[in-house]
Amino acid sequence: MAKLTVEDLPLEGKKVLMRVDFNVPIKDGVVGDDNRIVAALPTIKYVIDHGGRAILFSHLGRIKKEEDKPGLSLRPVAERLSNLLNKPVTFVPVTEGKQLEDAIDNMKNGDVLLVQNTRYEDVKDGEYVKRESGNDPELGKYWASLGDVFVNDAFGTAHRKHASNVGIATNMPGKAAAGYLMEKEIKFLGDAVDNPERPFVAILGGAKVSDKIGVIDNLLEKADKIIIGGGMAYTFYAAKGIKVGNSLVEKDKIEVAKQILDKAGDKLVLPIDNVVADKFNNDADTKVVEGDIDDGWMALDIGPKSVEEFENVLKDAKTVVWNGPMGVFEMPNFAKGTLEIGKFLGTLSDATTIVGGGDSTAAVKELGVADKLTHISTGGGASLTYLEGKELPGIAAISEK
Ligand SMILES: Nc1ncnc2c1ncn2[C@@H]1O[C@H](COP(=O)(O)OP(=O)(O)O)[C@@H](O)[C@H]1O
Ligand SMILES: O=C(OP(=O)(O)O)[C@H](O)COP(=O)(O)O
Ligand SMILES: [Mg+2]
């Protein structure tokens, strides 16, 4: 990388602003899968071992209204980080102002501080102002003013142009560096997918339909097959005139889905059958149906015929990139599709198998199939954007050597 790295920066006695991606699953105030926190430890340790004062920034979830804030506090993450580092981590429950500035002034060399969820800035006085997500120039400038140098290790957020990554970096010219995780992810993805061994199969699922449906267009030129499962599948069902019941559908993306279907021909593989439920709950009544999904039912997992069909497509693959679970794996009754696909990828011993994304990674770890895969990437949307051949704004903003 022709970019500055953390090793190029002066650290001793410096206030080192760090952007990490700690957007991890939280349930009942406790961190679930901590892969993304663990993945950032090498850079954090390097900074504090070299006498830096680490001031960490991350987003968590999405905040659109005041009521979203309490459940999306980073406090539980500070606790987990403290356990992992085996040292105290100061948590500052605000994103600006005197409390934050005083806490930073009180830091000693080697100390670690975590700032509240950067997306608290997206809602001010009850209004959705998107200061963080809209890269408000004043916000990036303010955060940059709090430190001496900047290290961006948030690969999972690199496809976003937000104040806490791009904003801070552009306000610290010559002093914004990449961390080890950022370097590692780019190197790995580059080696695997710039000239992928073929057949190259992409698997796309999950729930961020409107975010991610756009990448399919570019992926059609790179991949030999694209398998669509999980919450991504039903917008395509709607585009094909298949009934979707109450399944997750992004209505304003149905047109896009139609265009993709026209262009893709048999490159795109959709689920044949689904596990449908009468409510969004693990205890729902369920059944497996092919094709049409009746009103009152929603598809929460792919069915056994879909698994068989997907495995058939995957069996000869030499490169597989997977983002987005095949169903609502957080509920045991809808985890089977994700589990089966994960297990099957584990049997492809001479293929490069890459799983990316906060939730997909949590799924393969939780379901015990992560060990047999080639690479677990912290980025879902970020990996897909990289795969499309697009520049990642978070990386572009890092200073050149
Ligand atoms: N059929 C479905 N209906 C609703 N949500 C789904 C469905 N399939 C998967 N999901 C949800 O998608 C979420 C993950 O999506 P996403 O964030 O795009 O993936 P990743 O974090 O791996 O990039 C999970 O919380 C999962 O429950
Ligand atoms: O979890 C993330 O992406 P992913 O769900 O695609 O893995 C990143 O933290 C980005 O979050 P965002 O999609 O709310 O900007
Ligand atoms: Mg996710």
Q: Which ligand is nearest to the CA of 362?
A: 1
Q: Is 357 in the pocket of ligand 2 (CB under 6 A)?
A: yes
Kindly name the residue from 36, 80, 161, 184 that is annotated as catalytic: 36
| Percent of the chain with pLDDT strictly greater than 90 | 97
Count of structural domains within the chain: 2
pLDDT digits (tens, 9 = 90+) for 6-63: 999 999 999 999 999 999 999 999 999 999 999 999 999 999 999 999 999 999 999 9
Those residues whose C-beta lies under 8 Å from the C-beta of residue 237, and which sit 6 or more positions away, are 243, 244, 247, 249, 270, 293
**Per the domain annotation, does 30 fall within a domain?**
yes
The arithmetic mean of pLDDT across residues 271-288, rounded, is: 98
The arithmetic mean of pLDDT across residues 68-83, rounded, is: 98
End-to-end CA distance of the chain: 9
Claim to verify: residue 66 and residue 149 sit in the same structural domain: yes
Q: At residue 194, does pLDDT exceed 90?
A: no
pLDDT digits (tens, 9 = 90+) for 233-276: 999 999 999 999 999 999 999 999 999 999 999 999 999 999 99
Q: At residue 67, does pLDDT exceed 90?
A: yes
- Complex prediction ipTM: 0.98
Atom of ligand 1 at shortest distance to CA of 325?
A: 9
Q: What is the pLDDT of residue 192?
A: 87
**Per the domain annotation, does 41 fall within a domain?**
yes
The arithmetic mean of pLDDT across residues 153-172, rounded, is: 98
Domain of 94: which CATH number?
3.40.50.1260
Claim to verify: residue 166 and residue 83 sit in the same structural domain: yes
Residues with C-beta less than 6 Å from any ligand 1 atom: 205-208, 230-231, 248, 299-300, 323-325, 327-328, 330, 357-360, 380
Q: What is the pLDDT of residue 1?
A: 52
Claim to verify: residue 226 and residue 92 sit in the same structural domain: no
What range does the domain containing 132 cover?
A: 6-184
Those residues whose C-beta lies under 8 Å from the C-beta of residue 73, and which sit 6 or more positions away, are 60, 93, 116, 117
Question: Which of 184, 217, 239 is the endpoint of a domain?
Answer: 184
pLDDT digits (tens, 9 = 90+) for 95-146: 999 999 999 999 999 999 999 999 999 999 999 999 999 999 999 999 999 9
Kindly name the residue from 324, 342, 358, 394 that is annotated as catalytic: 358
Question: Which of 157, 184, 211 is the endpoint of a domain?
Answer: 184
- Whose CA is closest to atom 11 on ligand 2? 157
Kindly report the pTM of this predicted structure: 0.96
**Per the domain annotation, does 279 fall within a domain?**
yes
Question: Which of 184, 212, 243 is the endpoint of a domain?
Answer: 184
Measured between alpha carbons, how far is 361 from 326 in angstroms, rounded to an integer? 12
Q: What is the pLDDT of residue 317?
A: 98
CB-based contact 14:148 (threshold 8 Å): yes
β partners of residue 98: none
